[in-house]
Copies of this chain bind each other. A is one copy, B any other.
């Protein structure tokens, strides 16, 4: 919470109740949330406001886009802890992998392709414990 307010203030934004509620909803969500997901929980906040808020939060680096390819946009709190996700192709169960496999490849890619990597996204699709049987 301290962190949220600090970042809001740094960017000269207003600490509205809508922004607080949306931030807290994202904070407590285990899985990335779409604008519509949030609207279902916070029915009193207009959907357009939720979209605008998510864009704002993304711009100031409070949250990040984190959806599976082809899916609607979903966002999650930007943590210092980098993670990846696995989604079960059968039941949709999604879990987080709480460490990063990729960092070590960044230097290699810089040498070979001249690209300086700023971010990456790694998504796995598979079958979970239950569904693989």
Contact = CB atoms under 8 A, between A and B. Distances in A.
Given A70-B65, A101-B105, A102-B101, A116 B126 contact: yes
A65 B113 CA distance: 24
Copies held by the complex: 2
Interface string A99-133: 00110010001000111111111111111110010
Nearest to A95: B113
A117 B132 CA distance: 10
The range of chain A's interface size is: 20 to 34
A88 interface: yes
Interface of A: 65-67, 69-70, 73, 86, 88-89, 95, 97, 101-102, 105, 109, 113-129, 132
